[in-house]
Structures are given as structure tokens and as C-alpha cells.
Amino acid sequence: MVPDYDESNITAAVLGSLTNAKSERARHISEAMVRHLHAFIREIEPTEAEWMAGIDFLTRTGQMCSQSRQEFILLSDTLGASMLVDAINHRLPSGATATTVLGPFYTPPPEFGDGDDMSNELEGAPLFIEGSVASVSGERLAGALVDIWHCDSEGFYDLQQPTGIDVLSGRGRFRTQADGSFHLWTVRPTAYPIPADGPVGEMLAVQGRHPFRPEHVHFRVEAPGHHELVTHLFARGDDWLLSDVVFGVKDALIRSFEQHEGGIARDGRVMDGTWFTLRADFGLAPATK
């Protein structure tokens, strides 16, 4: 007899179809997805028009993705899903720098020498970043890779520039010195709205939310024998620290961007006008098998 599915038995039927999944993990994930999706539908009881609108939203989210824009990462970020995944995967020991979301604008950066200027075509006030990488035990880590990226003074990343760019700008890879230190020049970024001209922007508008992220600089730090660190350092006093649209701010990641007028920077560079410094020290957790 052909089964007669209805709202009382359809969930059990779908779960029963998953017994031959290729792995226990695939079965566990699929079963959880079905249970929660069906529970969501039962809770909101969508009309057919609403359900098709949801499918259209996800379709347009995928269609918006490109080499320079990842709308699905924006969706994950703005729903707090990225930060939840991050929290689950980074239960770190004392002394390890807090993690936060990777964001949609990472791309492998060009490598620079210690002390170089990575701003290239970005404009803004000069920013001197110096810091160090160490293990949670305090051992300074030589040769660690430090990827850094940020937006310009108008809130745009290099990949977003409407007129295109000749070289990647405002992003670079640096290697720590024998004492675990690194330093570089760039320009100071600013707070900015995430791209809001697509499905995620429509969702935020319907939810009555703003699209802004507080000013920050991204870091991705790697060293043998240690967990990779993905984090930001946020500007103290920024207006959006308490309402970051992607929920990425942690108190331990807030830093002062110290302002200076002229003078000589720590690396001996003679400065004219307004410039800033940012201290960036990171502690890495040991890798686990």
C-alpha cells in the first residue's frame, strides 16, 4: 500500500529514509536537519506563498555570490550562525587570544617584509601596527604567519572597489621575527556597513536592523604546533561596538588606536600630520590531535 503522508507522519518517514546514509556523521547531521526544519515549519505554519518567498530568498542569495562577494557568508554572519560555529570550534585555554568570524572579504594576501607598507592603493591616515605572536605558555614564536586585512577610510575593501584595483591593497602577509615580533604600515580603516543591496540587506530591513560593523582590523595567525587564530582588533570608542551586525565583538578584542601628531615612529620613520598606532599581541593555543 502506498503510504498516505500527512503532518503527523511525514517527519518519521523522512527520518526513516536516512538509515543507509554513507556514514554515521552524515546520518546524524541529516536527521538533525530534518527534525529542526520540520519543527520550524510546524512552529510558523507558513503559507505556500511564504514558503516560496523563502526559497526565492535563498536562490537569490546564491545568485549574488561571486569571486568578490559571498552573500551566504553574510547571511551566516548576520544570523549569528558564524559566531556560534566559531564558539563551538574554539573553546580555548587561558592566555589564548579570543577568536571571531573570518568574514567574507578574506583572500590570500601578498607577502611583505617586516616593516613594509601594505596599504598600496588604499587612502587614509597612516597606521603603524606592531605586535607579537606567542604560545599560551609565553614562548615567542618565530616565523609565524600573520595575515592582515582591512577596509579603507571610506569603508571599502580592495575587492569592493567599483573602479577596480591594480594590486591587492590593505592586506598583507608578514612573518614574525626571531623574537616573535612583527610590525608594518598601512592606513587606518573605519566603521562600515556590510553590503546591503542584496537579499541579506532586505532581510535586515525587514528585521529592523542596521548593517554596520565597528572599525576593525582582521588577523589570521598560523604557527606550527598551534591552533590557527582568526580574529579582529576593534577600535575602542566606536559607535557600533554594542550592536555589530555580525555579533563579532568581544571585550578582549577592543584596542585603542593611539593618535599622534608628527614626530618619529618607533621604526624611525619621520611623520608629518596625524597618524595612529595599534598594538597587536596574540597568544596561540596548542594544537590538539
CATH topology of domain 71-284: Protocatechuate 3,4-Dioxygenase, subunit A (2.60.130)
pLDDT value at residue 1: 76
Using pLDDT thresholds of 50, 70 and 90, give the confidence band for residue 253.
Answer: very high
pLDDT-above-70 percentage for the chain = 98
pLDDT value at residue 122: 86
Q: How confident is the model over 204-225, as pLDDT tens digits? A: 999 999 999 999 999 999 999 9
pLDDT value at residue 162: 63
Task: Measure Cα distances from 55 to 48, 51, 59, 60, 149 in Å.
Answer: 11, 6, 6, 9, 34
The residue among 58, 18, 52 whose CA lies nearest residue 34 is 18
- Please indicate whether residue 2 or residue 224 has the higher confidence score (pLDDT): 224
DSSP conformation letters of 226-240? B--EEEEEEETT-TT
pLDDT value at residue 163: 61
Range 24-47 average pLDDT: 98
Average model confidence (pLDDT) across the chain: 95
Q: How confident is the model over 229-239, as pLDDT tens digits? A: 999 999 999 99
pLDDT value at residue 209: 98
Q: How confident is the model over 95-150, as pLDDT tens digits? A: 999 999 998 889 999 999 999 999 998 889 999 999 999 999 999 999 999 999 99
